[in-house]
Amino acid sequence: MSALITGMGAVAAVGDDVPAIFDALCAGRSGVGPLRGFDPTRFRARHAYEIDDRPQSGEDLTLRATRWLEQAVQQALTDAGHDGDLSDVPVLIGTTLRELRSVELSWRDDVPFDLRDLHFGTALRRRFGATRTYTVANACSASLYALGLAADLLELGEADSVVVAGVDTITESTYGMLDRVYPLAPEAVRPFDRDRRGMLQGDGAVAIVLRRESDGPAGGRPHARVRGVGLNCDAYHPSAPDAESIASVIADAHRRAGTKPAEIDLVMLHGTGTPRNDEAEAEALRSVFADDVRSCRMTAIKSMTGHTAGASGLHSLVVAVRAMREGRIPPVVGLVRPIEEVAGFGLVADRELRAPVRTAQVHSFGFGGLNAVAIVEKVM
C-alpha cells in the first residue's frame, strides 16, 4: 500500500497552521501556559497547552473543537488545490473527547448547545457538503487509526481521495481526572526525562488529504508518501502500555511498508512524559531497532504541544513530513536528564538538528492498548 499526502493543515497551541507550528517547534517554543479555560483553583496542576481563541472576558465557548477541525480541513484542502466540495470525498476524524467540553458547559452552565453538533459531520456537511463522515474514537491513537482506515479505502477502490483528520480539546472533567492520577502536579510535558511528572493536555486539530498514488497527485507536487500503517489492540490493561505489543505494531508497520529499521531516519515518538509509557516505548524500540537506535534520530513534540490526544498522531505525522521538506528536526524540550531506558538513543535535545530525512516512523499509542505506527517517505 502507498498513498500520497497532497494537502496538510493544523492548529495547535504553538501555531495556527503547519508552517507556523513547525517553525515554533524547531525554535523550541512551548505552548504551555497558565490554565485559562476553567477555574485553576480546583486543581493541583495549573498549566495546559491551550489555543488562545477565547474572548478577552475569558469565558469558555462551545464548539471550539469543531471550529478547529473546520480550520484544519480548509487549510488541507487549499494546500491540495481542492475546490472544497467534499460531497464525494470520505472524511475520517480521529478523536478522544469530541465536543465533551461543549457538553460540560451546557450541563453545568446552561450554555446553549445542540446535541446534533456532537457529530462533527453536522458542521462538515454545512461547510464542505460532506456526506460521508466517520468518527474514530480510539483514544490517543485515533488519528493514525483513521489514517489506516483511509489507506484501506483507497486500496480497496472505495474512494479516490480521503480527508483524514484529528481533533481534541481540553475538558474540565478529563483535566480533573488526570490531576488526581499523578503524585506531583506536572507543570510541563517532559518526555523521557528523569524529572517528568506526567501528562498535560493540549488543544489542537490536524487534517491531511490522502490520494491513491496510482492516480497520481492532483495539482502540485505531493508532500510525502504513506508507505504503511500498522495497527493493533492488545487490551492488555485499561491504561498501562505493553512493550511487547508496541514492538509488534512497529514490526507490522515495517512489514506493510517494506522497510527495515536501518532505513528509518526519524522516529516521531509518542513521548507522553509518563513513566510507564516512556519506558514501554523505549523498550519496544530497542527490541525492534537493536543497534539502529543509535543512528536514527528521534524527537517528541508533546514537549511543546502538550498531549493533543486524538489529534496527536497526525500532528506528529505532519511535523515529520515538514522535517523531510526542510531537513530540520525539532528538539525534545525539557530533556535534561534522560532516563536510563533511552541510553544510546539518537534523541534530539536542546536545539533543532539539521539533517536530511527521507523516511520517518510515527508513533501513537492509546489507553486500552490501542497502538498505531505509520511509515512515511519523502517523494523524490
- DSSP state string for 320-352: HHHHHHHTEE--BTT-SSB-GGGTT-EE-BSS-
Domain boundaries in the chain? 3-215, 227-378
Q: What is the CATH number of domain 227-378?
A: 3.40.47.10
* pLDDT for 217: 52
- 15-38, pLDDT tens digit by residue? 999 999 999 999 999 999 999 988
Dig out the grid coordinates for 280 from the structure: 514501554
Write down the mean pLDDT value for the chain. Answer: 95
Same fold, 3-215 and 227-378: yes
pLDDT tens for 316-353 read 999 999 999 999 999 999 999 999 999 999 999 989 99
Q: What is the pLDDT of residues 73-115, one digit of tens each?
A: 999 999 999 999 999 999 999 999 999 999 999 999 999 999 9
CATH class of 3-215: alpha beta
Per-residue model confidence (pLDDT) at position 380: 82
pLDDT in tens, 46-79: 999 999 999 887 789 999 999 999 999 999 999 9
**pLDDT tens by residue, 225-269:** 999 999 999 988 888 899 999 999 999 999 999 999 999 999 999
Helix (H, G, I), strand (E, B) or coil at 26: helix
Measure the CA–CA gap between 68 and 72, rounded to whole angstroms: 6
Residue 214, pLDDT > 80, answer no
Give the contacts of 313 (CB within 8 A, at least 6 positions apart): 94, 140, 141, 142, 143, 144, 147, 166, 362, 363, 364, 372, 374
